[in-house]
């Protein structure tokens, strides 16, 4: 690799005292060294801030932002992003771990991609439990390392809007130009990634590298488990998903994309019903009907 672009890693922390050191150390021990690390603590109520401050004594060049109130992930990240100087960035949750070659392999994928309008590169992840023990791969693999299912590249818009498990967010390296063009994360939402992937894939190509890049921790209150719970926390997440799918309807351009959105909406409608979220269920019913009716009016 001849070029040595700067890569910014923004690590967002909220009550991650058990895991924050593993996340931070995984960044500074990367094989690829031209990395800027920014940490933002979103007003943690545990000892996360104290642990970070102690770690910073040995790593004084790292930028640390301490929120005075809890802002949430989208506002916290956008605020921290103002300090980013990289050509690319990674959105790292403080309970996840970058594997040593993660950034190097992501940049290799960017350099070797056949796509000229490339905005994002993603890969595979090992899912681990709270103790860090192996659970499974995000994208299932055979013993020889081959994927059980081939994953698309290029124009991934319809794939993302129709498939709940289309990307593992922490494996994504994103061009900062793309993030700037799309005006960052939508701060009205409770979580960041799905809405951004949809908007980005509408405008840019994505590429995939069949490499395991990170360890993603599955813990209580994990966003990835949000469809299985019934609480205020998960209701906020699932309401944001509804808002994202409403926005997606306005981005669709053809009948196939409406079919993809219908598939995703139907899944969310069933999950809302199983969680006894009746108000959200009826919202999805109305959205499904609207998409279905509109798709019938399109000639293709």
Looking at residue 185, the DSSP 8-state letter turns out to be S
Token pair 């989208």 in the structure block, residue: 74
The CATH superfamily of 7-219 is Spore Coat Polysaccharide Biosynthesis Protein SpsA; Chain A (3.90.550.10)
Question: Which residues touch 155 (CB under 8 Å, ≥6 apart)?
Answer: 201, 205
Question: Which residues touch 184 (CB under 8 Å, ≥6 apart)?
Answer: 77, 78, 81
What average pLDDT does the segment 239-258 reach?
96
pTM of the model: 0.93
CA angle 164, 132, 147 (to 5 degrees): 45
pLDDT band at residue 117 using 50, 70 and 90 as cut-offs = very high
Yes or no: say if 13 and 94 are a contact pair by the CB < 8 Å rule: yes
d(CA 284, CA 265): 7
Worst-scoring range by mean pLDDT, 188-192, 208-212, 296-300?
296-300
What average pLDDT does the segment 245-272 reach?
95
Q: What is the 3-state secondary structure (H, E, C) of 89-122?
A: EEEEECCCEECCCHHHHHHHHHHHCCCCCEEEEE
Burial of 2 (0-12, 13-18, 19+ CB in 10 A): exposed
**pLDDT over threshold 60, residue 223:** no
Query: How is the chain split into domains, by residue range?
Result: 7-219, 224-296
């Amino acid at each position: 690799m001849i070029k040595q672009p700067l890569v910014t890693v923004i690590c967002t922390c909220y009550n991650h005292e058990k895991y924050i050191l593993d996340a931070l150390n995984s960044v500074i021990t990367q094989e690829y060294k031209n990395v800027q690390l920014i940490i933002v603590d979103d007003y943690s109520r545990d000892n996360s801030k104290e642990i970070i401050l102690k770690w910073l004594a040995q790593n004084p060049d790292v930028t640390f932002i301490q929120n005075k109130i809890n802002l949430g992930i989208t506002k916290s990240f956008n605020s921290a992003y103002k300090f980013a100087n990289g050509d690319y960035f990674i959105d790292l949750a403080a309970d996840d771990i970058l594997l040593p070659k993660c950034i190097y392999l992501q940049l290799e994928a960017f350099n070797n991609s056949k796509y000229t309008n490339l905005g994002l590169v993603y890969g595979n992840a090992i899912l681990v439990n709270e103790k860090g023990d192996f659970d499974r791969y995000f994208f299932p693999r055979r013993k020889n390392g081959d994927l059980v299912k081939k994953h698309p590249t290029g124009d991934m818009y319809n794939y993302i809007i129709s498939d709940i498990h289309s990307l593992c967010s922490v494996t994504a390296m994103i061009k900062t130009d793309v993030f700037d063009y799309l005006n960052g994360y939508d701060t009205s939402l409770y979580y960041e990634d799905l809405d951004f992937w949809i908007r980005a894939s509408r405008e840019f190509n994505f590429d995939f590298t069949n490499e395991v890049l990170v360890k993603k921790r599955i813990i209580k209150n994990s966003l990835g488990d949000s469809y299985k719970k019934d609480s205020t926390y998960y209701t906020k997440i699932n309401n944001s998903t509804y808002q994202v799918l409403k926005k997606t309807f306005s981005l669709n351009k053809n009948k196939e994309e409406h079919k993809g959105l219908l598939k995703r909406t139907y899944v969310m409608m069933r999950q809302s019903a199983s969680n006894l979220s009746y108000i959200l269920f009826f919202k999805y019913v109305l959205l499904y009907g609207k998409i279905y009716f509109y798709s019938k009016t399109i000639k293709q």
